[in-house]
Amino acid sequence: MTKRPKIVDVGGIQVEIGPPISTDGGLVFVARHIRGSAWFRALIPAARAAIAGFEGQRYGFAAEEKLSRTVLALVCGFAMGYRSGKEIADVIDADKLWRKVLGGRVPQIDLSRLVCVLAETGIDLLRLAVLASASEGIEVLHLDGDSSLLELHGKQQGGAFNGHYKEFGYHAGWMLEGSGRIAALWLNEGNAHTAEGQAEKLEWMLANGARIGSYRGDAGMPSPRLMHGLEAMGATYAMRLRGNARLDEVAQSLCPDLPKVGGAAAFGEFRHAVKSWGTDRRVVVKWQVPETKDGAAALFAESFYFVTNRVDAPAAVVEHYLGRGEAERRFGEFVAAFEPTFRHAEMAKNEVWAQLLALAHNTLVDLRARVNGGTELKPRPTQKPIRGESGWSALATTYVMAHVRPSLARFRAFALKLANAAIDHSRRRWMRLAPQHLKPAWAESLIAG
């Protein structure tokens, strides 16, 4: 017997208390994209084989259906904005759409157990899946590498106080591909050096069939191993060098007579050798006249150094390097959209968590690429020549019409968090999505693909 819904009167309005209406209509697009991706189709059989050979407790994940459904639940849950296993399990239990998309319920205990099993058998497989998700449709990777502190609020293994950030957490290393996808994300101890793992991760990528075209890194990245590795694989690189007395002495001898105009800049280059490098390398220098607090130009130019194997003109090398600011912005967007929290005491389990977050991030980046956000005027810093291409220049701002890309959080809210209703007919069932936001076309754009 069907239970009749409860109806109450609220100020003359009849209110029906019944089953909740899902607001996660975009889940169907997220799940479809994940199921259709090459990384998911490769991950499940590989993880299943690894789990089947595991001598410890497997909790039934050697079965493909259970493994596939639970992995899908975690990645979809993160993509849809849920931050913990409990939140994901709760929405699956309450929302019929989730159960329909996943093919059944996924209790919290299964989500937790899968993380434990993957920590024992599948971390490397997850890392390969992240790399594959970043490489899909791309022949040559163009990478930006850096590290960021991910806060911890507990006694997790590997957590430490970082003196630079003045916070406690993991000093996570990351590499982003030019498309905006995360190609690698790994957890270093909180007080680890900023370049920890960068060279090793590039070598690992190469060993797993990735083709690397270029790499950009901030000061602290240029280690001999990293530069030797990039040169050996035929990749170009441009990385900041921290200033020192030797660099400053050479730069001062080459510095042209710049006009005392705030922002005036000049570019040059020289060969520089460090004992640990084993050879001399090209160093590009940028001289720039800073402005003082009162707006006047300073008396002396500042020097900025970049080690590179690129053959571009010095000004072009600097312009190329400055493009890495977009990667920093995108990783900040990842942190803002997913608010990564690591709840496990063991570092290996938190590493699994990080890989699943990276897969969810790349899924959203791919789906967002289908959205047409229109164009608008945007400022763009540029070099305005003062005395020709080989002479002085000054920083200036121009305005150009540029494509608008919504943030991941805004894209999720406007294109994925959609009210929906299931409609039963005599012969078929379908779902009606109701985009209630300002950009209903964003949801419609996800239908293709």
What is the DSSP code string of 404-441? ----HHHHIIIIIS-EEEEEE-SS-EEEEEE--SS-HH
Checking if the pLDDT of 30 tops 90, the result is yes
Q: Is the pLDDT of residue 38 over 70?
A: yes
47 with 100, same domain: the answer is yes
CA distance from start to end of the chain: 42
For residue 390, is pLDDT > 60?
no
pLDDT score, position 317: 94
- pLDDT at residue 290, rounded to an integer: 83
Q: Note whether 32 and 124 are same-domain residues.
A: yes
pLDDT band at 155 (very low <50, low <70, confident <90, very high): confident
134 and 147 co-located in one domain: yes
Task: Indicate whether 131 and 142 sit together in one domain.
Answer: yes
381 belongs to a structural domain: yes
pLDDT band at residue 436 using 50, 70 and 90 as cut-offs: low
Say if 230 falls within a structural domain.
no
* Residue 116 sits in the same domain as residue 104: yes
E-strand spans in 204-279? 212-217, 236-241, 264-273
Based on its alpha-carbon atoms, the radius of gyration of the chain, rounded to whole angstroms, reads 26
In a shared domain, residues 150 and 183: yes
What pLDDT is attached to residue 377?
Answer: 75
The reported pLDDT for the residue numbered 312 is 92
What confidence score (pLDDT) does residue 427 get? 67
What whole-number distance in Å separates Cα of residue 8 and Cα of residue 329? Answer: 49
What residues contact 28, with CB distance under 8 A and at least 6 apart? 97, 101, 431
Contacts of 187 by beta carbon, 8 Å cutoff, 6+ apart = 150, 158, 170, 172, 342, 347, 350, 351, 354
Mean pLDDT score, 48-61: 95
Mean pLDDT of 106-129: 97
Name the residue with higher pLDDT: 250 or 428: 250
Identify whether 223 is part of a domain: no
pTM > 0.85: yes or no: yes
pLDDT tens sequence across 95-113: 989 999 999 999 999 999 9
Give the highest mean pLDDT range of 108-122, 311-325, 361-375, 405-419: 108-122
Q: Cβ(354)–Cβ(185) under 8 Å?
A: yes
What is the length of the chain? 449
Is the model's pLDDT at 43 over the cut of 60?
yes
Q: Is 3 a domain residue?
A: no
Average pLDDT over all residues of the chain: 88
- The reply to whether 356 and 386 lie within a common domain is no
The predicted pLDDT at position 264 comes to: 82
Q: For the chain, count helices (H), then strands (E).
A: 15, 15
How does pLDDT run across 181-191, given as a tens digit for each residue? Answer: 999 999 999 99
Contact 294, 421 (CB under 8 A): no
Report the pLDDT value the prediction gives residue 446, as an integer from 0 to 100: 80
Lowest pLDDT segment from 112-121, 277-286, 398-407, 432-441 = 432-441
Q: Work out the pLDDT band at 90, boundaries 50, 70, 90.
A: very high
pLDDT of residue 246: 93
Can you give the pLDDT at residue 210?
Answer: 93
pLDDT of residue 14: 72
Give the pLDDT band (50/70/90) at residue 220: confident
Domain of residue 243 covers 238-323+374-405
Model pLDDT, residue 257: 83
pLDDT band per the 50, 70, 90 thresholds, residue 153: confident
pLDDT of amino acid 55:
92
pLDDT over 60 (residue 374): yes
Check residue 177 and give its pLDDT.
Answer: 97
Please report which confidence band the pLDDT of residue 386 belongs to, taking 50, 70 and 90 as the band edges. low
Do 390 and 417 share a structural domain? no
Q: Strand 302-308 relative to strand 236-241: parallel, antiparallel, unpaired?
A: antiparallel
> 245 and 97, same structural domain?
no
In a domain, 2, yes or no: no
Residue 414 pLDDT? 85
Is the model more confident about 384 or about 197?
Answer: 197
For residue 423, the model assigns a pLDDT of 63
Instruction: Tell me, yes or no, whether 386 lies in a domain.
Output: yes
For residue 1, is it within any domain?
Answer: no
Residue 388 inside a domain? The answer is yes
Q: Which of 17-26, 256-265, 412-421, 426-435 has the lowest mean pLDDT?
A: 426-435
Domain count along the chain: 2
DSSP state of 371: -
Q: Is the pLDDT of residue 400 over 80?
A: no
pLDDT given at position 439:
57
Percent of the chain's residues with pLDDT above 70:
88
**Are 99 and 155 members of one domain?**
yes
- Residues 98 and 193 reside in one and the same domain: yes
Whether residue 250 sits in one domain with residue 179: no
Look at residue 433 in the predicted model and tell me its pLDDT.
Answer: 72
CB 251 within 8 A of CB 288: no
Q: Is the pLDDT assigned to residue 251 strictly greater than 70? A: yes
pLDDT digits (tens, 9 = 90+) for 288-325: 888 777 666 677 788 999 999 999 999 899 989 988 98
